[in-house]
Chain A
Amino acid sequence: MKDIILKIKDLTYSRGSRVIFDGLELEIPRGKVTAIMGPSGTGKTTLLKLIGGQLTPEKGSIVFEGDNIHQLSTEQLYKTRRKMGMLFQSGALFTDITVFENVAFPLREHTDLPEEIIKAIVQIKLEAVGLRGARNMMPTELSGGMARRAALARAIVLDPLMIMYDEPFAGQDPISMAVLVKLIALLNQALGLTSIVVSHDVAEVISIADYVYLISNGKVIGQGTPEQLQSEPTPRVSQFMQGLADGPVPFHFPANDYASDLLGDAE
């Protein structure tokens, strides 16, 4: 039997009248890099927020390490979150303190370690992401890719079991992209992490993922190893994997009749 660290069952969540997830089922195996892909607007970031307990689903359960996230008390939830790390798309570094202090933040909040040890741990983590030399810089002085790497150092500073990456490759130049791809794979292996990568950059994701879920319209429409998905004949899967403009996911957003819109009959 596979060792599952996170299990999502029958997850239903809507925002206003729009259904984001409709009975979503997912399993994240321990120690692997699992990618969750899907077109923009499918609620991939929402899914990570649901896993982190920042949002509450209408129905269904998210079980992490045997704990149902949404049945935990606030105190238990905060304790469980220490086992998770999350890398936000923007990095979300605190802009009023240096890179060093950003990475030291979780340590200062959750431990009573002496200053020398904090210094050592922070330097080790910054070295791992290649930013030891930038420790005294302010977050505003960093490029987008560097900010993300600094945030990554902060996310792993408490040695979490699982780390969630929210669109880690979005808006990166080819070099930063390659650095991040390498880091995600390397950290997962070296630290024995479990990684969830939410992204729509097909090429980068399939180069590091062990398993891929493809989500569209609130449901899993395809899953498997990257090779399996690439050879999947289902039109919706192949449209996404091969990046075709039109297909089962239409080019046009649903609209009124074109002719009547142009002639002014519509509202």
Chain B
Amino acid sequence: MIIESIRRLGASTIESFATTGRAGYLLIGSLFRLPTMKDVKLTYLQLNHIGVQSLLIIMVSGFFIGMVLSLQGYTTLIKFGAEASLGPLVALSLVRELGPVVAALLFAGRAGSAMTAEIGLMKATEQLSSMEMMAVNPLHRVIAPRLLAGIIAMPLLAAIFSAVAILGGHLVGVDWLGVDAGGFWSTMQATVDWQEDILNGVIKSIVFGFFISWIAVFRGYDTIPTSEGISRSTTQTVVHSSLAVLALDFILTALMFGDIS
């Protein structure tokens, strides 16, 4: 009984090392080379697929998150007569945390799962094999453009998310609840720091974009080519990348803002 559980522990440890190795190989094989004009074109196409087509969900969610944030912030701040700080509250929570994190979670669900399913199905229908036999490396043709597009799209989506959310916050705070518009914007402008807040948020979302895309393309490429395998890989993409985003967010926040106190 004990020996069996030790054996299983060993097997799963070896398997996770092997998986990490394969994922690393995929990353090196697809990205470590000089890009060509064709790569630029393919990445551009993918930017449309995974970036532009995620815009709607990102903007709608952002708008609602901003509205809720403003409403909750207002009801608390009004108790202390501090409703003039609503602008900074909304903007800082969005730019530092909610923007990158929520946009990343939505991106994992919307674009990550689609990438895994698409690549997995290409594998199951032998499209990747046939590409190899046509002397076209699928790591360059299929994987690399999606990885790059994910890394580029994520910070842009997070920025759009935050911007739309601030507008949502303005709608609720200023237009509906009557917070002074000048105060809303000017305190926000005075408080939000370009480097400390915005740049750190951008760095976060680049890191999230990289990990989500990496997990998504790897899960697709490494899938067991059956319908069950693809469905499992797609779920794994969403679960693993969401957990990765939350864990990385803590690590990055600790590194960026940990010494403020």
List A residues at the B interface (Cβ < 8 Å).
49, 52, 54, 74, 78-79, 81-82, 84-86, 88-90, 92-95, 105-106, 109-110, 151, 154, 158
In the bound assembly, the distance between CA atoms of A88 and B126 in angstroms comes to: 8
In the bound assembly, the distance between CA atoms of A142 and B134 in angstroms comes to: 21
Question: What's the minimum C-beta distance from B224 to chain A, rounded to whole angstroms?
Answer: 14
Report the nearest A residue to B121, measured CB to CB.
A95
Given A78-B137, A88-B126, A158-B134, 8 more A-B residue pairs with CB atoms under 8 Å apart are A49-B129, A74-B137, A81-B135, A82-B135, A90-B125, A92-B130, A93-B127, A109-B135
The contact of A81 among B125, B126, B127, B132, by CB within 8 Å, is B132
Q: Does A54 lie within 8 Å of B130, measured CB to CB?
A: no
Report the nearest A residue to B130, measured CB to CB.
A92
Q: Does B132 lie within 8 Å of A52, measured CB to CB?
A: yes
In the bound assembly, the distance between CA atoms of A163 and B126 in angstroms comes to: 17
B199 contact set on A, CB distance < 8 A: none
A52 contact set on B, CB distance < 8 A: 132-133
B40: interface (CB < 8 Å):
no
* Number of residues from B at the complex interface, CB < 8 A: 12
Q: Can you name 18 A-B pairs with beta carbons within 8 Å?
A: A49-B129, A52-B133, A54-B129, A78-B137, A81-B132, A81-B133, A84-B133, A88-B126, A88-B129, A90-B126, A92-B127, A94-B127, A105-B136, A106-B134, A106-B135, A106-B136, A110-B135, A110-B136
In the bound assembly, the distance between CA atoms of A79 and B134 in angstroms comes to: 10
In the bound assembly, the distance between CA atoms of A217 and B129 in angstroms comes to: 25
A93 contact set on B, CB distance < 8 A: 127
Q: Does A54 lie within 8 Å of B133, measured CB to CB?
A: yes
In the bound assembly, the distance between CA atoms of A92 and B130 in angstroms comes to: 6
Question: What's the minimum C-beta distance from A148 to chain B, rounded to whole angstroms?
Answer: 12
In the bound assembly, the distance between CA atoms of A81 and B137 in angstroms comes to: 11
In the bound assembly, the distance between CA atoms of A82 and B133 in angstroms comes to: 8
Q: Does A92 lie within 8 Å of B135, measured CB to CB?
A: no
Q: Does B135 lie within 8 Å of A79, measured CB to CB?
A: yes
In the bound assembly, the distance between CA atoms of A95 and B134 in angstroms comes to: 16
Interface of chain B residues 86 through 131 with chain A (CB within 8 A): 125-127, 129-130
In the bound assembly, the distance between CA atoms of A86 and B130 in angstroms comes to: 7
Q: Does B134 lie within 8 Å of A109, measured CB to CB?
A: yes
Q: Does A92 lie within 8 Å of B132, measured CB to CB?
A: no
A82 contact set on B, CB distance < 8 A: 135
The contact of B134 among A54, A89, A105, by CB within 8 Å, is A105
The contact of B125 among A74, A95, A105, A109, by CB within 8 Å, is A95
Question: What's the minimum C-beta distance from B143 to chain A, rounded to whole angstroms?
Answer: 15
In the bound assembly, the distance between CA atoms of A95 and B131 in angstroms comes to: 13
Interface of chain B residues 127 through 185 with chain A (CB within 8 A): 127, 129-130, 132-137, 141
Q: Does A78 lie within 8 Å of B135, measured CB to CB?
A: yes
A92 contact set on B, CB distance < 8 A: 125-127, 129-130
